[in-house]
Structure 1
Amino acid sequence: MDKFQAFGKNFSAAVMPQFNRTSQYVREQLGQVDDKTELPPDYIELEKRVDALKQVHQQMLQVTSQYSHEAYDYPANLRESFNDLGRTVSEKVNLLSQAHSATEAAAAMTAPPQAKPQPKTFSHAIARASISSSQSLRQADGAGSGTQDPLASALEKYAIASEKVGEARLTQDAAIQARFLAGWSTTLNTSLNFATRARKQVENSRLSLDATKAKVKSGPFGIGGPKKEAALDDEPLSEEARAQIEAAEDEFVGQTEEAVGVMKNVLDTPEPLRNLADLIAAQIEYHKKAYEILSELGPLVDQLQVEQEASYRQSREGA
């Protein structure tokens, strides 16, 4: 019998607080509560700022998470074969340089693929299309890999440069994943979640406080008991009732102070801004590298174009 009574007390102690909070919440939603404990204005302001910070993280991660997907700029309508993705452009160019006939050049383009498929990025796709186009022109000329067709040569150089740009983009993406996405995801899923849980504890303690006040004012039979709040407004509280309210108030104040500390910590941490700076730095490095690669390529292609125009004029003058 004693064990049963002990179980009943433990069960009541565990369930009744949740029941009281739920009842208080329902009454508030139904507009049946006139006296609701208000949260401090500074606390409400912190909540707004934390909500804004959470929204910022969600919005930014929704877009920048694309850096985790290699093919985010890969043409959706492009269909490349297994052989297309089998070897790097640099490897194909090296094999082509060793070819002594059109047959050997064609074999170089269809050499057995490596174990790992080549990246599916826009720059890599341009590189593969360029080297394939270059080889098509040389095969059409019937001169094999030794042809000096200006457009074929320019396309080959463009293929090599585009592959380098693609590799620089992959380096950028890896840096962004490690230095930005990881940091912002941690803030969203850890720090901001801590703040959310702390705020939930404040709301629970606030509901418990108001439920305790309502229970004390409604008399020994609980809500709807024989004593009404209006009748109790001028009645002194018993020591037990006062102790219950004070305990609930202390819990509410303690949870509020703890939540304030958690929210301030989330808002004051320099980590998100540091992560954003790392994102920008990775982008700068990528665009700088791409600029350098294309800047080296541009004069070479320009020279080929000038030489072709000169050759074209000479041929026209000779005709």
Structure 2
Amino acid sequence: MDKVQAFGKNFSATFSPFATRTQQYVKEQLGQVEDKTELPPDYIELEKRVDALKQVHQKMLQVTSQYSNEAYDYPPNIRESFNDLGRTITEKVHLLSNATTPAEAQAAFTAPPTAKPQPKTFNHAIGRASLASSQLIQRNSAGAGEDPLAIALEKYALACEKVGEARLAQDAQIQSRFLAAWSTTLNTNINFATRARKGVENSRLMLDAAKAKAKHGGAAFSLPGQARGDEHDEEHMTEEQRVEIEQAEDEFVGQTEEAVGVMKNVLDTPEPLRNLADLIAAQLEYHKKAYEILSELAPVVDGLQVEQEVGRHESFAE
């Protein structure tokens, strides 16, 4: 019996504050509250800044989370087969270089996979299409010597694969140094601020409920239009009511000071800006590598084009 009574006391102690806060909140929503404790202007300003920071994180993560999706730039109209994705372009070129007949070349090109399927990125797809096109030309121009376009397409395929690998390296950097960090800020630091603000709101509701209870002589909750108890001014407060209000005020002040500290910490941390710098650095590194790869390829293809033009003019001259 003692255990049952103890449980009842604990349940009442836990439930009563919740019920009091809920009742006060409902009264405010119904317009039954005459006086509501105002939060300091500086505190409200901090809330606005934290809310803005939260929206910034949500908006940026909504877009940049695509870096976690390997195929974010993979054309939806592409239909690549199991063999297309079976080996890397570099592996296929190596096998093709050892082929001595068209049949061996075809076998090398369609060799079974040795590892996981190749990446589905736009650059990898272009590379695979370029290599397949190069082989298509080679197979249909047997005995005519090396075709400049076929050579250029093969070199372009290898370059595209390198660019695609650089893009995957960029994505990995962004995932670990930006997405993970911003998600942590959103789900941890900003959530801490949200909980602290909730503590302030709860303590304010308890304070206003205590004030209302003393002012109206402990009148019960009523719907709009219903009569309330006679109002009591501060002179008619009991000592118990004064103590209750003072304790509620102390709790409210303490919760507010704690929330201010948490919100300032969230707003002052340099992490978001540092993470954004990491995002830009990863993008810069990718575009730099892509530029270097294509800059090395461009003069080679230009040279093949010039050779083709010279050979064409010479054949016409003959």
Q: Partner residue of 1:246?
A: 246
Structure 2 CA distance for partners of 1:7 and 1:94, relative to 1, 3 Å: closer
> Does 2:27 correspond to 1:48?
no
> Does 2:176 correspond to 1:164?
no
Structure-2-length-normalised TM-score: 0.95
Distance in structure 2 (CA, Å) of the matches to 1:5 and 1:221: 27
- Structural mapping, 1:264-303, within 5 Å: 264-303=264-303
Q: Partner residue of 1:173?
A: 171
> Does 2:101 correspond to 1:93?
no
Give, in angstroms, the shift of residue 16 of structure 1.
Answer: 1.2
Task: Give the secondary structure class of the aligned counterpart of 1:235.
Answer: helix
Report the aligned-residue RMSD.
Answer: 1.6
Structure 2 CA distance for partners of 1:212 and 1:293, relative to 1, 3 Å: same
Residues 87, 115 of structure 2: 8 Å contact kept: no
Say which of 150, 153, 161 aligns to 1:152.
150
Residues 86, 112 of structure 2: 8 Å contact kept: yes
Task: Give the secondary structure class of the aligned counterpart of 1:120.
Answer: coil
Distance in structure 1 (CA, Å) of the matches to 2:205 and 2:44: 16
Q: Which runs of 5+ in 1 are unaligned?
A: none
- Structural mapping, 1:1-319, within 5 Å: 4-143=4-143, 147-220=145-218, 222-223=220-221, 227-229=229-231, 232-233=232-233, 235-318=235-318
Task: Give the secondary structure class of the aligned counterpart of 1:77.
Answer: coil
Give, in angstroms, the shift of residue 8 of structure 1.
Answer: 3.5
Residues 217, 227 of structure 1: 8 Å contact kept: no
Residues 215, 234 of structure 2: 8 Å contact kept: no
Structure-1-length-normalised TM-score: 0.95
Distance in structure 2 (CA, Å) of the matches to 1:17 and 1:189: 28
Give, in angstroms, the shift of residue 6 of structure 1.
Answer: 3.9
Distance in structure 1 (CA, Å) of the matches to 2:296 and 2:229: 90
Give, in angstroms, the shift of residue 317 of structure 1.
Answer: 2.6
Structure 2 CA distance for partners of 1:137 and 1:223, relative to 1, 3 Å: closer
Question: Quick one: percent identity of the two aligned structures?
Answer: 73
Distance in structure 2 (CA, Å) of the matches to 1:163 and 1:93: 12
Question: What code does the residue aligned with 1:76 have?
Answer: P
Residues 88, 118 of structure 2: 8 Å contact kept: yes
Q: Deviations over 1:49-101 (max 9, x none)?
A: 00000000000000000000100000011010000000011111101110101
Structure 2 CA distance for partners of 1:78 and 1:293, relative to 1, 3 Å: same
Question: What code does the residue aligned with 2:309 have?
Answer: E
Distance in structure 2 (CA, Å) of the matches to 1:12 and 1:58: 39
